[in-house]
């Protein structure tokens, strides 16, 4: 598979993740009478990843998240030469997904993008008012566990064909735990896309939603490499 095709798939996948996941939060989470709430948003993120894993996993690996690419690279599963191009198109896909969501959401009278736009935050911008420290720990640990799930589910020794289900459900669980704390990132591209449109506090706090997922991803890659040390072929 050519790099151009892989990058195109990553762009589409990240676009869908942001539009589907953040779209559920912006458009459906608090809809009067039938709002889907935290559980619905968590399921939406898991479903976007699950559907894309089956749609493009055989093309690009369906990382659709810079932290996943970095975690796979740290774990020895991904090429250094492709790492930066993957991250660039993932961010671009996230921005495109946020742009389409903005166009849709702004079609409703009274829409205010500065109110949040599914952005990630800490302190007064945390859904539950959690501190910077709590947000940092949450994002590192949740990303660490998410990457461990990915590395384990895609291991050649694992049951074949079920990885997308385990990974999608893993993302649901990550969101159920961390939405109240940070609005759930574990994905710098997802955070960047909506933060650019929110335009104020989300941009000033965006550093955490790059730093913490990268740290968690690198640690997960190192740990899973250790698990693989001395394994039988």
Q: What is the pLDDT of residues 67-118, one digit of tens each?
A: 999 999 999 999 999 999 999 999 999 999 999 999 999 999 989 999 999 9
Question: Is residue 25 in some structural domain?
Answer: yes
Find the domain containing 198 and state its range. 3-228
Question: Is residue 70 in some structural domain?
Answer: yes
pTM of full prediction above 0.75: yes
**Sequence-ordered alpha helix ranges (H) in 61-200:** 66-74, 80-105, 132-153, 163-182, 188-198
Question: Is residue 233 in some structural domain?
Answer: no
Distances (CA, A) of 12 to 46, 96, 224, 233: 16, 9, 28, 35
Question: Is residue 216 in some structural domain?
Answer: yes
Distance, CA of 66 to chain centre: 8
Domains of the chain: total:
1
Q: pLDDT 10s digit of each residue in the chain, 233 long?
A: 899 999 999 999 999 999 999 999 999 988 888 889 999 999 999 999 999 999 999 999 999 999 999 999 999 999 999 999 999 999 999 999 999 999 999 999 989 999 999 999 999 999 999 999 999 999 999 999 999 999 999 998 888 889 999 999 999 999 999 999 999 999 999 999 999 999 999 999 999 999 999 999 999 999 999 998 866 54
46 φ, ψ (degrees, to nearest 5): -65, -40
Question: Is residue 76 in some structural domain?
Answer: yes
CATH number assigned to the domain comprising residue 107: 1.20.1080.10
């Amino acid at each position: 598979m050519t790099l151009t095709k892989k990058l195109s798939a990553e762009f589409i996948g990240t676009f869908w993740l942001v539009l589907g996941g953040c779209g559920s939060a912006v458009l459906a989470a608090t809809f009067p009478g039938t709002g889907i709430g935290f559980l619905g948003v968590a399921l939406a993120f898991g479903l976007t990843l699950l559907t894309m894993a089956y749609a493009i996993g055989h093309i690009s690996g369906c990382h659709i998240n810079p932290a996943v690419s970095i975690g796979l690279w740290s774990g020895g599963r991904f090429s250094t030469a492709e790492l930066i191009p993957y991250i660039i198109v993932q961010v671009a896909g996230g921005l495109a997904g946020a742009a389409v969501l903005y166009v849709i959401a702004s079609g409703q009278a009274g829409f205010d993008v500065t109110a949040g736009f599914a952005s990630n935050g800490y302190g007064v911008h945390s859904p539950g008012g959690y501190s910077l420290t709590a947000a940092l720990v949450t994002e590192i640990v949740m990303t660490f566990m998410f990457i461990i799930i990915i590395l384990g589910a895609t291991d050649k020794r694992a049951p074949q064909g079920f990885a997308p289900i385990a990974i999608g459900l893993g993302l649901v669980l990550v969101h159920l735990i961390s939405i109240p704390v940070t609005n759930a990132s574990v994905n710098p591209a997802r955070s960047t896309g909506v933060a650019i449109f929110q335009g104020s506090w989300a941009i000033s706090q965006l550093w955490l939603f790059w730093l913490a997922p990268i740290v968690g991803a690198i640690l997960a890659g190192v740990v899973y490499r250790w698990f693989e040390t001395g394994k039988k072929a």
